[in-house]
Amino acid sequence: MPTFKTSIIYNVLILSLSFGLTLPAVSADFATTQALAEQDEADAQYALGFKYYMSKGVKQDYAKAFEWYLKAANQGNVEAQNNLGELYNQGKGVEQDSAKAFEWYLKAAEQGDAKGQFNVGALCYKGEGFKQNDNKAREWYLKSASQVNTGAKNNLQLLNLNRENRPQNQAKTIEWYQKAARQGNADAQFKLGVLYHEGDGVTQDYSKAVEWLTKAANQGQAKAQYVLGAMHYFGRGVEQDYSKTREWWQQSAEQGYDEAQYNLGVMYSHGEGIAQSHSKAFEWYQKAAKQGQVDAQNNLGVMYENGSGIAKDYAKAFMWYQKSAAQGLSESQYNLAWMFENGYGVKQDYKQAFNWYLKAAKQGDTMAAYVIGTMYNYGRGVAQDKSQANIWLNKACGNGVQMQCDQ
> Of 179, 218, 177, which Cα lies nearest the Cα of 196?
177
Residue type, 393: L
d(CA 76, CA 108): 9
What is the tens place of the pLDDT at every residue in 283-292? 999 999 999 9
Q: Which residue has the higher pLDDT, 261 or 129?
A: 261
Instruction: Kindly indicate the confidence band of residue 6, based on its pLDDT and cuts at 50, 70 and 90.
Output: very low
Instruction: Kindly indicate the confidence band of residue 9, based on its pLDDT and cuts at 50, 70 and 90.
Output: very low
> Of 122, 139, 263, which Cα lies nearest the Cα of 204?
122
Q: Which residue has the higher pLDDT, 327 or 135?
A: 327
d(CA 118, CA 19): 8
| pLDDT confidence of residue 150 | 57
| pLDDT confidence of residue 405 | 59
Q: Can you give the pTM of this predicted structure?
A: 0.68
Residue type, 50: F
What is the tens place of the pLDDT at every residue in 38-56? 999 888 898 888 888 877 7
Domains 30-148 and 313-407 share a fold: yes
What is the tens place of the pLDDT at every residue in 330-350? 899 999 999 999 999 999 999
| pLDDT confidence of residue 126 | 74
C-alpha distances in angstroms, 59 versus 238, 340, 358, 371, 405?
A: 18, 43, 40, 37, 34
| pLDDT confidence of residue 19 | 39
What is the tens place of the pLDDT at every residue in 280-318? 999 999 999 999 999 999 999 999 999 988 999 999 999
Q: Within 13 Å of residue 108, how many CA atoms lie on the same side as its CB?
A: 32
* Phi–psi pair at 365, nearest 5 degrees: -75, 110
Return all residues near 351 (Cβ < 8 A) that are at least 6 apart.
381, 382
How buried is residue 7: exposed, middle or buried, by Cβ count under 10 Å (0-12/13-18/19+)? middle
Instruction: Kindly indicate the confidence band of residue 89, based on its pLDDT and cuts at 50, 70 and 90.
Output: confident
Q: Which residue has the higher pLDDT, 17 or 248?
A: 248
Stretch 203-229: mean pLDDT: 95
Q: Spell out the domain ranges in the chain.
A: 30-148, 313-407
What is the tens place of the pLDDT at every residue in 166-179? 445 678 888 888 99
d(CA 104, CA 88): 9
Q: Which of 132-141, 190-199, 206-215, 392-401 has the lowest mean pLDDT?
A: 392-401
| Confidence check: pLDDT of 375 > 80 | yes
> Of 110, 71, 67, 103, which Cα lies nearest the Cα of 85?
103
Q: Which of 162-176, 179-193, 216-230 has the lowest mean pLDDT?
A: 162-176
Instruction: Kindly indicate the confidence band of residue 28, based on its pLDDT and cuts at 50, 70 and 90.
Output: low
8 A C-beta contact, residue 21 and residue 11: no
8 A C-beta contact, residue 112 and residue 363: yes
Q: Hey, how many other C-beta atoms are within 10 angstroms of the C-beta on 179?
A: 11
| pLDDT confidence of residue 146 | 76
DSSP code of residue 287: H
| pLDDT confidence of residue 162 | 37
| pLDDT confidence of residue 160 | 57
| pLDDT confidence of residue 288 | 95
| Confidence check: pLDDT of 4 > 80 | no
CA of residue 35 relative to chain centroid, distance:
25
| pLDDT confidence of residue 399 | 62
Give the CATH class of 30-148.
mainly alpha
8 A C-beta contact, residue 73 and residue 51: no
Hey, what's the torsion of the CAs at 256, 260, 264, 267, to 10 degrees?
180
d(CA 368, CA 340): 14
d(CA 83, CA 61): 14
Q: Which residue has the higher pLDDT, 132 or 24?
A: 132
Superfamily of domain covering 313-407: Tetratricopeptide repeat domain (1.25.40.10)
Stretch 180-195: mean pLDDT: 93
| Confidence check: pLDDT of 152 > 80 | no
| pLDDT confidence of residue 144 | 81
DSSP code of residue 274: S
How buried is residue 257: exposed, middle or buried, by Cβ count under 10 Å (0-12/13-18/19+)? buried
Q: Which of 57-61, 302-306, 349-353 has the lowest mean pLDDT?
A: 57-61
Return all residues near 243 (Cβ < 8 A) that are at least 6 apart.
273, 274
| Confidence check: pLDDT of 401 > 80 | no
What is the tens place of the pLDDT at every residue in 90-122? 888 999 898 999 999 999 999 988 888 888 888
